[in-house]
Amino acid sequence: MKSPIMFPATMTEMFTTMGSTLASFMFVWAIIRQYCPYELRRFFEKYTQQITGYFYPYIRISFHEFAGDRLKRSDAYSAVEAYLSANSSKSAKKLKAEMGRDSRKLVLSMDEYERVTDDFRGVKVWWLLSKSVSAARQNSYYPEQEKRFYKLTFHKKHRDIITEKYLEHVVSEGKEIRVRNRQRKLYTNSPGYKWPSYKQTMWSHIVFEHPASFETLAMDPEKKEEIIEDLRTFSKSKDYYAKIGKAWKRGYLLYGPPGTGKSTMIAAMANLLNYDIYDLELTAVKDNTELRKLLIETTSKSIIVIEDIDCSLDLTGQRKKKSEKSSDDENDKMSKEIAKKEAKEENGSKVTLSGLLNFIDGLWSACGGERLIVFTTNYVEKLDPALIRRGRMDKHIELSYCTFEAFKVLAKNYLSLEMHPMFDTIQTLIGETKITPADVAENLMPKSSLDDAEKCLSSLIQALEEAKEEAAKEEAAKKEKAAEKEKEAKEEAAKKEKEAKEEAAEKEEAAKEEAAKKENAARKKAGIKENGPTKEDAFQSQVDKETENVL
């Protein structure tokens, strides 16, 4: 059996002396903290830190959760927390898991008094999460809530690179992480008279959970890649827009027949860029001033959408050149304007085309940044050219009828098929028929558990054949109607020609009668009558003859 290890008496005495010394020091420190005035302790701490600073080679920067008496959380603290959550979860031993208010998943971050290290361009820094309580209120009946803060420590020789580069990197990276982890929202505006006085924003929202993506979007692949590249380029062009002196925004006009996927395209754009969506209902906006207030309330990294803009208020009137018009045309124009004004007053909205144009690219549009403005319409020809010109709607995207490439995307989505013998027939029919992606998707969707791929494809082929027959009938009806119109036009032309000839003959007869009347009037004036000489003429002739005989 081994004998216990015996320490020398001198070492035992040393530990005993050290223990008693530490105990005495802690006792004295407790007495000082209890009875020494707070101001006096702060005075000693202040000068102690100054003296220590001459020999201590490290610099500390604190990021407090709340600044002053404000209740709003510090943006810098939130950015640092997000940045460290991505790094500390790999190196820290003591973590805490939280579900943020706007977060869509659990976020792991360093717990209190946990220390982690970070390297930036060869410079090593230390982060510490700490908390503090004001000593002035420790003994209060209602003690002050603990204040948390992050403390950054680094060597003073790296001051420039840390303050000028590293902190900017931490904040920008933290904001990006927060955007990726945040719970995206779909906003809509309510009529102004429904806004309660206590409400802080003019928008109401729900969580945006639309599953659409460009991978599942039924479009031509080349056109799809072009749109994706355009969106990604825009999201990374902050410095470029600042360089050219233009607000960081971009307008998209989506147009095409109903059922071609305009709304789905907007959802795919939001999911690609991780943007929020603001669905603006113009009929609920009272006037242009309220429209500007709504714009100010929107945030960066968002899409402002006005769907079916050709149906929104009186924003579809084409500007026409001035020309001479008849009084009837002027009266019709006046009556239409009065009717439009009455309709606008009934709707309760006084938003004008000018106000909307300023909303898109006026001075107020520069507040904030990284915004997409999207208009959708079924009839692009109805919109005012000033509304959709380049610079306002920078990119025009036509969403047309379903092509074979779009069909293959839908077949893969709905039936998990990339190839099938029936595809050749479908390709031929789709090339000869106009059918929307929505109609194709409806036929490809199984209606029961017994529906297999062949049944769905057969249903689509039947729908395509029916659409082809219907289109042929419509084409035949159009041709027949055109032939009838042409026949009616010919009959109308012949009738007009006959009437013109008759009118010409009548005019010619009237001209002859008028010429005869003029001739008779001239003869009468000259003394020559149409019915022979008058009695006075005969008497004068006889007198002349008798005078001649006498002579």
Mean pLDDT calculated for residue range 352-369: 80
Give percent of the chain with pLDDT exceeding 90.
23
Structure tokens belonging to residue 59: 């610099």
Task: Report the alpha-carbon angle 458-463-468, nearest 5.
Answer: 125
Confidence band of 193 (pLDDT split at 50, 70, 90): low
**Given this model, what pLDDT does residue 200 score?**
56
Q: Which residues, 6 or more positions from 226, have their beta carbon under 8 angstroms from its beta carbon?
A: none
In this structure, the number of other CB atoms found within 10 A of the CB of residue 396 comes to: 14
Q: Is 291 left (phi over 0), alpha (psi -120 to 50) or beta?
A: alpha
pLDDT exceeds cutoff 90 at 278: yes
- Cα–Cα distance, 466 to 40 (Å, whole number): 94
Please say whether the beta carbons of 294 and 280 come within 8 A: yes
Q: Which residues, 6 or more positions from 433, have their beta carbon under 8 angstroms from its beta carbon?
A: 464, 467, 468, 471
Q: Bigger pLDDT: 345 or 85?
A: 85
Mean pLDDT calculated for residue range 375-404: 89
pLDDT exceeds cutoff 80 at 62: yes
pLDDT digits (tens, 9 = 90+) for 109-142: 777 778 888 888 888 888 888 877 555 444 444 4
Beta strands in 294-447 (DSSP E): 302-306, 371-377, 395-398
User: In CATH, what class is 187-317+352-398?
Assistant: alpha beta
- Cα–Cα distance, 361 to 237 (Å, whole number): 18
Average pLDDT, the chain: 79
Give percent of the chain with pLDDT exceeding 70.
72
Distances (CA, A) of 156 to 56, 74, 115, 121: 9, 26, 19, 16
**Given this model, what pLDDT does residue 111 score?**
73
**Given this model, what pLDDT does residue 321 score?**
43
In this structure, the number of other CB atoms found within 10 A of the CB of residue 313 comes to: 19
Q: What is the DSSP string of 212-258?
A: --TTS--S-HHHHHHHHHHHHHHHT-HHHHHHHT--SEEEEEEE-ST
**Given this model, what pLDDT does residue 470 score?**
87
pLDDT exceeds cutoff 60 at 7: no
Which pTM was predicted? 0.68
**Given this model, what pLDDT does residue 133 score?**
59
Q: Bigger pLDDT: 16 or 320?
A: 16
Residue-range domain boundaries for the chain: 33-134+144-181, 187-317+352-398, 508-550
pLDDT digits (tens, 9 = 90+) for 306-335: 998 888 766 554 444 444 444 455 556 555
pLDDT digits (tens, 9 = 90+) for 412-443: 999 988 899 999 999 999 988 889 999 999 99
In this structure, the number of other CB atoms found within 10 A of the CB of residue 273 comes to: 17
**Strand, helix or coil for residue 182:** strand
Q: Which residues, 6 or more positions from 470, have their beta carbon under 8 angstroms from its beta carbon?
A: none
Q: Bigger pLDDT: 132 or 158?
A: 158
Confidence band of 91 (pLDDT split at 50, 70, 90): low
- Cα–Cα distance, 33 to 6 (Å, whole number): 40
Structure tokens belonging to residue 348: 């309760």
